[in-house]
């Protein structure tokens, strides 16, 4: 197990290297832009310094690979992501403040996604080819096609026309007011959960169908166990293992969806931070969010792979 | 023997003239017989394509034709989808939105498929260190959510149709190369490939004449499903205000921006574009699934 973890971590190094290069190169493709913007916005400090000094202050005057080295070195050695070009605050602090909010939204969305997907997937497998099976499957395929931002928009519009209800928009942190925080997060989380549930539902159904045909299930039936026991204890446990992998694969989808939900429901998470930074071309923040998101996805996938051993004793890490 | 018998025997013996059957028509026949839902979705897909191509002829009004007297009219015979806050006809705007979706969807999916094919075939066929490095790069690329990459790239290159087509093409192209690579790795070990190699065929010839024709099925399926992915991604981007800038009526853009502030007064503004998106993406996905089942059963269940 330990050897496996070490090997997995070593295998992450080239991926992380490529990821950081992608992040760095993508964002620095047009380094002159932000300076143009700062000069044109009559930023007093910027106007005082002039173009060349500004370039120097922002570190744009050195060759790209030196900038890259400094940037990576700063992150690895001091956890320093640079400073925001506009507010001049450390980017690391901002990321740290925003990360838990997006994490909470993602976790809640995942919870609702599984809450919707697994019972329907199981039911649809147990009653294969029945009317409700067809309904559940069509619904899941439909959920793949409905854009989450459309559902979000409709949730903002129709309940307020019909019942005068609209989702709470003033953000309160979980520590200050847990109930208020949850009541704001729950709507976007359910919408995101619906989007996630589509593939999970399909996979749960497929895996259940496969497991239900196996010998040990027949044995369980033959022993005279009830349906609930056979399905829940014997079949579901074995069917869920590949479903866990799918959670890892869906992590990018979840984070991408969170950006849109944060924008619609005004939740100050990583997504909103990114969108604000994009509109101001605040490159250190954009780079920071970009990198953190990539690393988060890799970390989630690593955790998912490692959790295999807990779920399935047959898996041996070599 | 009576002459009539002879003629009877003649006709039964005569080989009926075999008309060369068009493989495309044969395939369409199979689609309708075996996958009725897929066929319906194929029809919707083609209708969407036609709407996009002939939007200028079909739209009753211009997409930016303002008529202040008719602002925020609910759906009626004159304006089937209603009008927006400037009195612009939503049906016409949705039709022109289809045009933008067709252009962006097909161009970006085309570029994406091309990149996937080149990268996937070369990486899958050559194998070895090259494959290893390319695959680590693809790993890194795929650990970023599509939408985040799009937002970041658009923030650098600026919003606009060409930028979005190129970015989406590159983004989905690199991610899709995995699927083509997988197909190539299994085709590579076939006897006819070894035969070609042993007769001294150049690498390019093997790739072009032997590998590519045998991975055409996944390539076609990849292209079709990519059209849906691109349309959805573009609409998400336009929704965030980073897509094709207004007044271009993209479906995602229609749901955001100025439309959004008037939705409480005109809820139909929220319905039509979203419905168009959902129907088209659903049809594209189902059509792609049906194609995959018919062309390439091995790919079933993978996406």
* pLDDT beyond 70 at B278: yes
Residues of B within 8 A of A256 (CB-CB) are 145-148, 236
Residues of A within 8 A of B236 (CB-CB) are 147, 149, 256, 260
Interface of A with B in 279-298 (CB under 8 A): 281, 286, 289-290, 293-294, 297-298
Per-residue pLDDT, B301 = 45
pLDDT tier at B110 (50, 70, 90 boundaries)?
very high
Which residue from B minimizes the CA distance to A270?
B148
Which residue from B minimizes the CA distance to A202?
B301
Among B226, B223, B236, B227, which residue's Cα sits nearest to residue B274? B236
For chain A, counts of helices (H) and of strands (E): 13, 0
Q: Average the pLDDT over B85-90 and give the result.
A: 73
Angle at CA A285, nearest 5°, toward A283 and A286? 60
Cβ neighbourhood burial of A286 (10 Å; 0-12, 13-18, 19+): buried
Per-residue pLDDT, B107 = 92
pLDDT tier at B241 (50, 70, 90 boundaries)?
confident
Mutate to test the interface with B, among A8, A10, A204, A256 (most CBs of B within 10 A): A256
pLDDT digits (tens, 9 = 90+) for B148-161: 888 888 877 777 88
Mutate to test the interface with B, among A145, A266, A289, A304 (most CBs of B within 10 A): A145
Lowest-pLDDT range of A129-138, B79-88, B117-126, B197-206:
B79-88
* pLDDT beyond 90 at B114: yes
Per-residue pLDDT, B19 = 65
For residue A146, give how far its alpha carbon lies from the nearest alpha carbon of chain B (Å).
5
State which H helix or E strand residue B273 sits in.
helix B268-295
Among B65, B60, B66, which residue's Cα sits nearest to residue B78? B60
For residue A225, give how far its alpha carbon lies from the nearest alpha carbon of chain B (Å).
32
What tokens were used for B293? 């089942």
Per-residue pLDDT, B302 = 42
For residue B188, give how far its alpha carbon lies from the nearest alpha carbon of chain A (Å).
27
Residues of B within 8 A of A18 (CB-CB) are 136-137, 139-141
Whether omega for the bond prior to residue B247 falls within 30 degrees of 0, making it cis, is yes
* pLDDT beyond 90 at B7: no
Per-residue pLDDT, B109 = 92
* pLDDT beyond 90 at B46: no
Q: Beta partners for B83?
A: B89
Residues of A within 8 A of B293 (CB-CB) are none
What is the rounded distance in angstroms from the CA atom of residue B303 to the CA atom of residue B293? 12
Inter-chain CB proximity B240 and A259 less than 8 Å? yes
Residues of B within 8 A of A252 (CB-CB) are 142-146
Which residue from A minimizes the CA distance to B236?
A149
Inter-chain CB proximity B277 and A255 less than 8 Å? no
Among B212, B206, B257, which residue's Cα sits nearest to residue B86? B257
Per-residue pLDDT, B252 = 80
Locate tokens 């899958």: which residue?
B124
Is the Cβ of B263 closer than 8 Å to some Cβ of chain A? yes
Residues of B within 8 A of A281 (CB-CB) are 155
Residues of B within 8 A of A30 (CB-CB) are 156-157
Inter-chain CB proximity A18 and B260 less than 8 Å? no
Q: Average the pLDDT over B184-199 and give the result.
A: 84
* pLDDT beyond 50 at B1: no
Per-residue pLDDT, A226 = 80
Q: Average the pLDDT over B264-289 and give the result.
A: 82
Give Cβ neighbours of residue B188 (< 8 Å, ≥ 6 apart).
B124, B125, B211
Distant-in-sequence contacts of B54-59, Cβ < 8 A, 24+ apart: B55/B95, B55/B96, B55/B98, B55/B99, B56/B99, B58/B95, B59/B89, B59/B91, B59/B92, B59/B95, B59/B96
Per-residue pLDDT, A286 = 82
* pLDDT beyond 80 at B47: yes
Percent of chain B with pLDDT strictly greater than 70: 85
Closest partner residue to B285 among A33, A144, A158, by Cβ? A144
Residues of B within 8 A of A17 (CB-CB) are 140
Residues of A within 8 A of B239 (CB-CB) are 147, 149, 260
Inter-chain CB proximity B143 and A297 less than 8 Å? yes
pLDDT tier at B177 (50, 70, 90 boundaries)?
confident
- The parts of chain A modelled with pLDDT lower than 70 are 1, 29-61, 79, 85-86, 168, 309, 311-318
Cβ-based contacts under 8 A for chains A and B = 140
* pLDDT beyond 60 at B3: no
Per-residue pLDDT, A175 = 72
Per-residue pLDDT, B16 = 60
């Amino acid at each position: 197990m330990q050897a496996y973890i070490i090997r997995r971590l070593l295998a992450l190094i080239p991926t992380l290297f490529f990821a950081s290069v992608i992040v760095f190169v993508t964002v620095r493709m047009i380094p002159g832009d932000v300076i143009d913007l700062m000069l044109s916005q009559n930023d007093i400090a910027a106007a005082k310094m002039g173009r060349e000094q500004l370039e120097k202050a922002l570190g744009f005057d050195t060759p790209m690979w030196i900038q890259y080295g400094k940037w990576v070195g700063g992150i690895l050695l001091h956890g320093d992501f640079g400073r925001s070009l506009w507010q001049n605050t450390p980017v690391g602090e901002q990321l740290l403040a925003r990360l838990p909010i997006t994490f909470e939204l993602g976790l809640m969305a995942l919870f609702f996604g599984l809450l919707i997907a697994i019972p329907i997937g199981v039911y649809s497998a147990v009653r294969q080819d029945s009317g409700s099976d067809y309904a559940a499957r069509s619904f899941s395929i439909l959920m793949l096609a409905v854009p989450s931002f459309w559902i979000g928009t409709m949730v903002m519009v129709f309940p307020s026309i019909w019942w005068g209800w609209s989702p709470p928009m003033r953000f309160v942190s979980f520590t200050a007011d847990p109930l208020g925080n949850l009541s704001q997060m729950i709507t976007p989380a359910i919408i995101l959960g619906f989007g996630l549930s589509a593939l999970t539902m399909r996979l749960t159904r497929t895996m259940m169908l496969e497991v239900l045909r196996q010998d040990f299930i027949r044995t369980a039936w033959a022993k005279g166990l009830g349906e609930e026991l056979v399905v829940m204890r014997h079949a579901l446990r074995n069917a869920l293992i590949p479903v866990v992998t799918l959670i890892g694969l869906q992590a990018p989808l979840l984070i991408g969806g969170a950006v849109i939900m944060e924008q619609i429901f005004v939740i100050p998470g990583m997504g909103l931070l990114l969108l604000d930074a994009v509109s101001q071309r605040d490159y250190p923040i954009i780079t920071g969010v970009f990198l953190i998101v990539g690393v988060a996805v890799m970390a989630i996938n690593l955790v998912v792979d490692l959790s295999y051993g807990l779920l399935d004793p047959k898996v041996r890490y070599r | 023997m009576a002459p009539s018998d002879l003629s009877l025997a003649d006709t039964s013996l005569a080989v009926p003239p075999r008309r060369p059957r068009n493989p495309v028509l044969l395939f369409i026949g199979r689609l309708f017989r075996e996958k009725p839902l897929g066929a319906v979705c194929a029809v919707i897909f083609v209708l969407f394509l036609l709407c996009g191509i002939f939007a200028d002829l079909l739209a009753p009004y211009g997409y930016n034709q303002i008529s202040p007297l008719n602002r925020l009219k609910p759906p009626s015979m004159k304006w089937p989808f209603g009008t927006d806050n400037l009195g612009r006809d939503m049906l016409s705007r949705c039709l022109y939105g289809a045009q933008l979706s067709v252009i962006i969807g097909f161009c970006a999916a085309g570029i994406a498929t091309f990149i996937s094919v080149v990268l996937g075939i070369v990486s899958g066929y050559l194998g070895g260190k090259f494959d290893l490095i390319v695959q680590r790069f693809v790993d890194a690329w795929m650990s970023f959510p599509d939408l985040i990459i799009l937002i970041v790239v658009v923030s650098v290159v600026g919003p606009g149709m060409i930028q979005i087509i190129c970015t989406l093409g590159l983004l989905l192209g690199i991610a899709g190369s995995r699927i083509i690579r997988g197909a190539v790795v299994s085709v590579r070990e076939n006897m006819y490939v070894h035969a070609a190699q042993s007769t001294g065929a150049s690498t390019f010839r093997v790739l072009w004449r032997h590998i590519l024709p045998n991975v055409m099925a996944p390539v076609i399926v990849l292209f079709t499903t990519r059209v849906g992915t691109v349309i959805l991604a573009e609409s998400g981007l336009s929704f965030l205000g980073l897509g094709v800038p207004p007044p271009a009526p993209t479906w995602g853009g229609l749901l955001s921006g100025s439309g959004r502030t008037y939705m409480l007064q005109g809820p139909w503004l929220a319905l039509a574009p979203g419905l168009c998106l959902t129907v088209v993406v659903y049809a594209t996905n189902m059509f792609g699934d049906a194609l995959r089942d018919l062309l390439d059963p091995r790919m079933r269940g993978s996406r």
